[in-house]
Structure 1
Amino acid sequence: MDSKTKQSKGGLERAKKLSPERRSEIARDAALVKSGGFKALHKGNFKEVIGVDIPCYVLNDSNHTAVMSQRGIAEALGFATGGGTAIKKFLSSQSMLPYIGSELSKKTDQPIVFKLDQTGSGRKAYGYDVTILIDICQAIIRANDNNQLKSNQAFLVKNASIILQASAKLGIRELVYKLAGYNSTKEAVIAAFRQYILEEARKWSKEFPDDLYAEWQRLYDIPVPVRGRNWEHYHLTLKFIYLPLAKSNGKLLALLKEAKKESKGKKYDKLHQFLNEIGLTALRAHIWQVVGIAKTSQSVEEYERRFSLAFGGQLPFEFDE
């Protein structure tokens, strides 16, 4: 028996196990493809929810598949450039392949082709079942848990966590609504998802997140404080956050000197106050780079070596006495 005959026989055996309803759905989908392909019955956009222009669609297949483009998935995860190419390159990297798996890899390699209007005369588009985004987010978290991501990929962990948590909260709420026979409006769903997104984002936007100190505690074997932070946390914050920021190719240091000059001798009593007024964005970006390096380091030696490579050493602040 040749391979084609074996495949055909296997396909028939699988078909026998399907319910009549599922076989009918498959037949309808095959007919749709034969008659010109799937069409977008509805179109939406994530801009109202997360502020990013990412279109989404619901198709006319039997499952009413919700789809978004590869570019949209890339932008939702925070890739600033490269779009679909960037996400595809990332997913095929050696660090991600073990966590993607063959099934998800196959899905990303075989996009759904559909027409952008209901008449079927519009231009073709290429999309993916939106649940792929959830699968990718889970793969990112697994890869990060196993220290496979680079320090400059910390933004992916952050965005994947936000998407997963917000989607889970909205999903369980909507499931209860459906089971209880309550139909929420489009506006209510958007408002709820926006709320969940903001809640999760706030956890990641604290100037000094708990993750930072948890990783330092792990690496430096620091006892967990009963409340607040201890002197070791203070020392590490100066060493790995404030002092490298002061170097920053001289930019923040120059701003500090300029600010002191303009204030006619008035000194900033607190370094954090200065950064809040002038360099909060730089502070946050730096902190999450440090978190990424710490999370993917197995020892103090590895952490400090990688930190030094990333930031090129340290330079003390030059405060006037």
Structure 2
Amino acid sequence: MNDTPQSKGGTARANQLSAEERREIARQGAQARWRPANSPAVDSSLPLATHQGKMTVGALDLDCYVLEDGRRLFHKRGMARALDMKSGGGNVFMRAMRRKGLGSELDQKLVEKIENPINFKPLTQDLGHGYDAEVLVEVCKAIIRADDAGKLSASQIPLASQARILLNAFAKVGVTALIDEATGFQEIRRPDALRILVQQYIEVEKREWEKQFPDDYYDELNRMYGSRKLTTTANGAVIQNRPQHFAKFTRSYVYHPLENGAVLEELDRINPQINARGTRRDRFHQHLTKGYGIEKLKRQVQEVLTLMKVSDTTSQFKKLFGKRFPQAGTQFSLFDD
């Protein structure tokens, strides 16, 4: 009887579970045994997760969720993993926050959130316990404050290093944006949420000009359009050929796909045309955040450059682009070949 496929499968599954996960399953089993037959397995009033996924931060994979009311959560056990605590259990995280030194840097409001995790219904199990994503950010800040004040014990020092890594990862990106990307919620979020995300792209102050488009980007454009790679200025200088219609191409195929045109709309607002020729005071990329906006721009430039290299004509490029970015829709009509 012990060698049945079912028993072997159960044993294999149990071996893959953490100690906390096994305790949670046992607890739920006990509740089920003592629950009246007609009672629901889970409180129907619990908020439901509509999206879930894993956020990758360095070597970490953190379980994250978006609830039906728009809250973004990390699973309780992920809080310990995020801070590189050895056991990785949610209860270990809570005990660490109560320890002298670190606990003194937690304000009462944050303590109450830590002591009262959010119960919710994930997509793949009956019950989950989580924290609002901003709790992790605030905890990281508290750990760093405690470290700067010399309040951490020797065993807590590694927490400060991990907290700094996490804050650097979240800098300019926003934990909400990361969760939306990890769970796929960015595809359907409300317009007000999108406006919040757009601000992750935009720098408060204009940055100094730095080259963001490689020379081969324009070389490929010249090849695809059949134009010369080099041109001569009025004073006799030989420079790379960059006709005006290249700017329209870049607008359509590099900037517009960033959040489906929302980032381009904001860039148009803060950096408008100043004359009939379409001149602007700054380059668009000077208004993008270095930690998030510029990285997204570089990724899109590389995508477009790859498609150009395998295209013989602009028509062929547009077809390939349409397959790679179907959400771009009617942007192809912005300019003629």
Looking at secondary structure, tell me which structure has more helix per residue: 1
TM-score range relative to shorter protein: 0.3 to 0.5
Query: What TM-score results when the alignment is normalised by the length of structure 1?
Result: 0.42
